[in-house]
Amino acid sequence: MKILITGGAGFIGSHVVRLFATKYPHYKIVNLDKLTYAGNLKNLTDVENLPNYKFIKGDICDADFIQNLFVHEQFNAVIHLAAESHVDRSISNPLEFVMTNVIGTVNLLNSSRYQFQVAETVFQKFYHVSTDEVYGSLGATGLFTETTAYDPHSPYSASKASSDHLVRAYHDTYQLPIVISNCSNNYGPFHFPEKLIPLAIHNIKNNKPIPVYGKGENIRDWLFVEDHARAIDLLFHQATSGSTYNIGGHNEWQNIEVINLLCDIMDQKLGRAVGHSRQLINFVKDRAGHDMRYAIDATKLQKELGWTPSVQFAEGLELTVDWYLNNEIWLNDVTSGGYQHYYEEQYVKR
Ligand code: NAD
Ligand code: TYD
């Protein structure tokens, strides 16, 4: 089986590539990534020399390039993670999100359809990795289920919702075998430090202010990234065509609670006085259209496939803090932009 994984140099994609390339040595894994600011081949140094792994630099928005790649590689399946993923950037530059998340997804769907209907190789699955943000915002109670109506509020979530609809339309119209999963907020190693948890870790480490939007009362349902990768593995192999699954941690926290926890863990690890890092908390102007609460009901995935999160939040946060403290070079590289030269060094000159 030859699997195209898009966005494999990003945060979640790198964990999915690692899991598939190491767990399934008989699969061929092709990682296609444009290496935007969020893509980093240093996330994959431990797998880059595996014989069943290959990296290709490319843009999913380039339809001709994608079609040629499919013709040349004859993929049997796609796991699609490539996306613009940061809500704040989507507010500043919505069109980039439409281009990558909507048009890029349609390009992949078109070539997958060709592979499914015309090519001789068997095309087994188009797995689309999506987000719980498509469901909009919850009040104080209730959970998102697979039948919750879509109600996106940010350009990011609207672009992901569009892509979900298109993936489903290719199943209903062309019988393309698809699976969609909608996951809650991930955290863990290799998370780009523009998102809440890695940004806070970076700023606490450097004694810089921690920006908390509004009153910090917004709630997110946090899942350790390796648990997400495990769920993708299960669903890729076992979910029936046309199905949708929610993935989430049953792990709701207000943003301010997460920040307080991180401050306390890091004070202890860095030998700082109790309460030192909480003084860095800086309440700033709220995000426009800021969704109040996300929370996932993952009962379907649990009942049908036996998946539950394996990493508790306290343990996962500590693991994550340790990883960032032990990987200073990675963190300094991505905050200085130095990592963007790695591709040239590793792949062009060889
Ligand atoms: P990320 O921003 O860390 O990584 C995205 C990757 O896609 C990067 O490597 C980037 O270089 C690549 N990419 C961007 N545009 C591209 C293009 N035009 N062509 C090829 N590659 C391109 O994102 P992430 O947090 O790892 O998210 C991965 C997927 O999971 C996204 O689809 C996102 O919507 C979804 N998701 C994320 C979360 C989360 O908490 N991070 C939760 C649920 C779902
Ligand atoms: P983020 O990590 O950007 O993920 P998402 O917006 O996809 O949920 O943000 C998580 C929460 O943290 C969200 O409610 C916005 C908030 N937030 C801050 O308070 N400060 C920050 O600097 C960032 C990046 C996010």
Instruction: Give the pLDDT score at 349.
Output: 42
Q: Which residues of the chain have pLDDT under 70?
A: 337-350
Q: Are 300 and 238 in contact (CB under 8 A)?
A: no
Residue 139 Cα to ligand 2 midpoint, Å, equals 18
The CA 103 to ligand 2 mean position distance, Å, reads 26
Given ligand 1 and candidates 15, 16, 36, which is best to mutate, with the most ligand atoms within 8 Å of its CB?
36
Residue whose CB lies within 8 A of the most ligand 1 atoms, among 65, 66, 85, for a mutation test:
85
**With 0-12 CB in 10 A as exposed, 13-18 as middle and 19+ as buried, what is 117?**
exposed
Instruction: Report which protein residue has its CA nearest ligand 2's atom 5.
Output: 87
Contacts of 170 by beta carbon, 8 Å cutoff, 6+ apart:
109, 112, 113, 126, 176, 178
Query: Which of these is catalytic: 33, 59, 84, 132?
Result: 132
Topology at the third CATH level for domain 2-187+225-250+293-310+339-348: Rossmann fold (3.40.50)
The contacts of residue 267 (CB under 8 Å, 6+ apart) are 273, 274, 275, 276, 277
Please name which of 33, 178, 157, 154 lies closest in space to residue 101, comparing C-alpha atoms.
157
Is-contact 248 223, C-beta < 8 A?
A: yes
Spatial distance between the Cα atoms of 166 and 169, rounded to a whole number of angstroms: 5
Domain boundaries, the chain: 2-187+225-250+293-310+339-348
User: What is the per-residue pLDDT for 227?
Assistant: 98
pLDDT at residue 346 in the model: 47
Per-residue pLDDT, 350? 37
